[in-house]
Structure 1
Amino acid sequence: MAWCGWVQRRYLVSFLSFLGLCLSFGLRSALSVTFTDVVKTNGTEGSHSDALNSTCPAEDNFTLPWSTDEVGWVFTAYGIGYIITQLPGGVLAAALPAHRVFCAATVISFALFATIPTMMKIDWRLVVVIRLLQGLSEGVQIPAQQGIWKEWAPEHEKNKLSLVALSGAYCGPAIAMLLTGFVNCHLGWEWIFYIYSIAGGIWGILWVLIVFKSPYKALHRLGQKERELFEEERRKKHADLFTSVQSAAPQEAVRAIPFKAILTSFPVWAVFVAGTTRSWVLLLVTNYFSQYLENVYNPNIIEVGYLSSLPFFVTTATVCLGAMIADTCLKRRVVSRTVARKLFNCVGFGVEASILCLVGFMTWYFPSKVAAVTLIGISCGASGFAASGYQANPLDLARDYASILMGISKLGGIGGMIMPKVVGALTSKGDAFGWACVFWVTAGLEMAGVVFYAIFASGKQQSWSNYRDARELEDDSARLSARYQHSVGGGRAYGAPNLGVSRRTIDESYVDDEERPLLWYASNREEHEFTDSMTLY
């Protein structure tokens, strides 16, 4: 598209990925803040409701007298659905175009979100069903993102592009908390559901128009500089030249996945453990920070939205900053890739765990709203640097299976099923000590994850990471050579004398952009040595 020629396409893909995750993850926080306003459990309606009606022009006396267990099931249902589709989502993103998987999952979630206000008025069980379906849909998003960046990220930019996109998962809750507090106060609690659903529909249209499976599917749409970049990127890595052929035979790619090697790899388990502890902390801050503020400090709905959003804005900034610092260190070879991943992950999560432990003591002994928000903001900011550790790690270990590895790591979101019960049990009285225990448990789990990652993590590409070996690649190149020779006729093709295809007579529309590297490989395979390892550091 000529209108976006001044912006390199991979940056547009990163921005739209950021926006999609920003909106999608915002749905969770929007629902959480709305529940703080509308759902009154265990007789909590009094003071908070009065504070709300005294400050908001759009007074709405609608309340839902749901029990703590019923509210817990709403959040638990989402966690169950989210876990179920993590690994299948990774496999799906490896077998099908990842950009389509991501788009479909995101748009479906927005459509379901629009039905929640109606379901809330009918029965809480219907809300549980909708949240379960949303979890099933959104569970494939992060694994699909890894599949997208397998195609769209040059080696020296994969950390930056993927993490800028994933930072939308942190920015989304911040924007949602601010927006939800304002919308609920001035327009009414139902409007936030419709605003997000409409925004999601617009995003889906933009994604379909702009994003393709890979840059090699849209070479004519790229600028000259970006086209040369991706062509050079292909030539530098012979193994990576051919992984995109899996689109021609997706079933073969799925059969070739070495699940045994993946599941017995300690570096993969290190990513899983880090993802597990991260999911626990993120769900705590996303779903329960507003409830913590209400129980301990009793602010009004606008204050809840404002205060709850601050940690996420800080995290968004540090995720992007950490990605740029990590890419710079790796590009200049300041540290090895393994050291970089361990350093960013352990420092980020280690600092966060220490501060959360301090917040627990502060909540119990000397509660301070300003101090609590400040400390949690700092802890979340520190955790943003850890994204350059475990979240970027799957692309290091196995670029072809990055979506599957991320799906495995997100299985750690099983904490989303357990957390509502744990938090509900510890905070059943709504007192400060119960919330202090929540922070202590969280800090302990996160610190255990830091130790495990420090011991077992790796930044090296694993020996099982290529789903095709040299013989399979040669078979593919021979097959394609024969096809072109049969279809076109004699001559030379792209510098490949043995193919007998004329550069002038070949039909350009017939040659798939993703298969051209195989032609190049067919003519040069004797001059180049295939290697299983592409580790740069």
Structure 2
Amino acid sequence: MVTQIPGGVLAERFGGKNVFLYPMLIAALSTVLCPLAAKLHVVVFMAVRVVIGLCQGVVFPAMHSIWSQWAPPLERTKLTSITYSGAQIGNVITIPLAAFLCYYVSWEAVFYVFGLFGFVWCFFWFLIASNSPNECKRISRAEQSYINSCLVGQVKQRKTTVESNNELRKPWLKFLKSGPVWAIVITHTCTNFGTNLVLTSLPSFMSEVLHLDIKSNGLLSALPYVAFWAGINFAGFMADFLIRKKILSTTKTRKLHMLISQFGQAGALIGVGYCEPGQKILAVALLTLSQGLNGLQYGGYIVNHVDIAPRFAGTLFGISNTVATISGIVAPFIAASLTPNKTILQWRLVFIITGAILIFGSLFYALLGSGELQLWAEIPTEAGSEQTETQRGGRAEENLEGKSNRTSL
């Protein structure tokens, strides 16, 4: 949590590639060392896990910073959604694989195998990734020119590995006074509460309420992640389709995805709370549906940092995810405190509270959210240059509606 804002700032200053790479390399090494640390002392093990958490805190802010340099506005949601969906593929693989390794090999094997995966990823990231189109030698000049032209006025394309402090000075007060920024922070916090509660408490719920064994639990616990992955990718393609075809403005597209996602997820979770212990298939189906609908948020606020302030996207994501992480930490403890006897009635209350939080977050976002580039995030264009509607990410279309979504508090 504590490295997310610094991670975003560093990615905007030095580029996302290395800010992403080195912490992941340390995290992979720390994962391999976990079994040894556990044998030495529980405090040593906890310290190693803290190091892993600190390293992984920079990941999503750095990712947002990279996409602010690479993603044309009309492809922005699709590209970011594809990359974020990779996390769900990882969950789909690791949950049953971890159960398999624990059951047939040893618990230590889980850390060795996953640490090895981390080293392999770092190798390919080092070879393939670039901070921006201007630093990439594997794309054509035409593609580089296209991406740069689409982002005129939104980001200053990187030409060096380090940007000057003057170019990247952060308007912290503007962040604090911005309605769209607060909309992102609040809905991020609410959605993170729901996502973390469901996904961290899911194995316990399936074991204690549905009475599934470890192998079945591992397999069925992966199903919501599959649905989450599908929902994320669907949202990415659908959001860009709606914006590209001018069916909806960027602002309306983001709000629509959040309302459908969070109201739908809330309804499915509350439905789980009314399932009887013997209705295992129905409960798993509703949990899976809830996470499929949850994936639609990736057509909403997740990419919204890049919409409203591309050149500060890493920092803004670091801010919102720092606050949201607090709710994600609290959520499992709330679930545990409300379910001392592990009964379906106690879990019902947990799911109702979660549903209410999700609905509140989506309504807050619908009130203050925006898909427009904010005035304080603009980069003045050179004299005589003009921006097309595509280059400005659909702002011209939204301004024709006679509304200003550049809300300030």
Q: TM-score, normalised by structure 2?
A: 0.90
Aligned residues: 393
Match of 1:313 in 2: 226
1:279 alignment counterpart: 192
Q: Which one of the candidate residues 20, 31, 41 is aligned to 1:113?
A: 31
Once residues 313 and 52 of structure 2 are traced to their aligned partners in structure 1, the CA distance between those partners, rounded to angstroms, is 23
Distance in 2 of aligned mates of 1:397 and 1:526: 23
After superposition, residues 293-312 of structure 1 pair within 5 angstroms as 293-312=206-225
| Alignment partner of 1:351 is 2:264 | yes
TM-score by length of structure 1 reads 0.69
Structure 2 distance, partners of 1:307, 1:159, is 29
Structure 1 residue aligned with 2:403: none
Structure 1 residues 149 and 249: alpha-carbon distance in aligned structure 2, compared to 1, 3 A threshold: closer
Letter in 2 for 1:527: G
Give the stretch that moved more between structures: 333-342 or 420-429. Answer: 420-429
In the alignment, the residues of structure 2 paired with residue 101 and residue 91 of structure 1 have an alpha-carbon distance, to the nearest angstrom, of 10
Higher CA-based Rg: 1
Deviations 1:101-135 (A, max 9, x none): 11222222222222222333444333332222222
- The partner residue of 1:212 within 114, 130, 154 is 130
Match of 2:166 in 1: 252
Change (3 A) 1:121 1:430: farther
Cα separation, 1, equivalents of 2:285 and 2:36: 37
Question: Cα deviations across residues 284-316 of structure 1 (Å, max 9, x unaligned)?
Answer: 233221111111122221111101000000110
Deviations 1:41-86 (A, max 9, x none): xxxxxxxxxxxxxxxxxxxxxxxxxxxxxxxxxxxxxxxxxx2122
Segments of 4+ in structure 1 off by > 4 A? 245-248
Which residue does 2:202 correspond to in 1?
Answer: 289
1:434 maps to 346
Alpha-carbon distance change, 426 to 123 in structure 1, aligned in 2, over 3 angstroms: farther
Match of 2:313 among 393, 397, 402: 402
Change (3 A) 1:169 1:236: closer
Match of 1:455 among 367, 371, 383: 367
Q: What SS is found at the alignment partner of 1:252?
A: coil
CA contact (8 A) 1:173 1:286 kept: no
CA distance in 2, matches of 1:311, 1:298: 18
Aligned position for 1:516 = none
What per-residue deviation string (whole Å, max 9, x for no partner) do you get for residues 143-191 of structure 1?
1101111122223222111110011222222211111122222222221
Q: Percent identity?
A: 29
| Cα separation, 2, equivalents of 1:434 and 1:400 | 45
Work out the CA distance in 2 between the residues paired with 1:421 and 1:150. 35
1:379 aligns with 2:290: yes
CA distance in 2, matches of 1:361, 1:464: 48
Say whether residues 1:90 and 2:1 are aligned partners: no
CA distance in 1, matches of 2:339, 2:160: 50
SS at match of 2:376: coil
Distance 1:129 1:434 in 2: 34
Aligned position for 1:37 = none
- Tell me: CA distance 1:241–1:88, structure 2 relative to 1, closer, same or farther (3 Å): closer
In the TM superposition, 1:483-498 aligns within 5 A as: none
**2:37 aligned with 1:180, yes or no?**
no
Instruction: Provide the rounded CA distance (Å) in 2 between the counterparts of 1:180 and 1:439.
Output: 27
Q: Give the aligned partner of residue 39 of structure 1.
A: none
- For residues 518-529 of structure 1, the aligned pairs below 5 Å read 525-528=382-385
CA distance 1:418–1:321, shift in 2 (3 Å): same
Q: Which amino acid aligns with 1:421?
A: F
Alignment of 1:115-264 (within 5 A): 115-219=33-137, 221-222=138-139, 224=140, 227-235=141-149, 237-240=151-154, 242-245=156-159, 247-254=161-168, 256-264=169-177
- Specify which structure has the bigger relative contact order, considering alpha-carbon pairs within 8 angstroms and separated by 6 or more residues: 2
Q: Secondary structure at the match of 1:309?
A: helix
- The alignment partner of 2:209 has SS state of helix
Counterpart of 2:392 in structure 1 is 534
2:328 to 416, 427, 451: 416
| 1:152–1:215 Cα contact (<8 Å) kept | yes
Unpaired runs of 5+ in structure 1? 1-82, 471-524
Q: Structure 1 residues 145 and 438, CA, compared in 2 at 3 Å: closer, same or farther?
A: same
Residue 251 (structure 1) shift: 2.5
Q: Take 1:290 and 1:313, find their aligned partners in 2: how far apart are those partners? A: 15
Shift in CA distance, 464/182, structure 1 to aligned 2, threshold 3 Å: same
Instruction: Please report the RMSD computed on the Cα atoms of aligned residues, expressed in angstroms.
Output: 2.2
Aligned equivalent of 1:334? 247
Asked if structure 1 preserves the Cα contact closer than 8 Å seen for 2:77 and 2:298, the reply is no
- Measured after TM superposition, the shift of residue 367 of structure 1 is 4.6
CA distance in 2, matches of 1:304, 1:421: 21
Contact 1:156–1:327 (CA under 8 A) maintained in structure 2 = yes
Equivalent position amino acid for 1:293 in 2: M
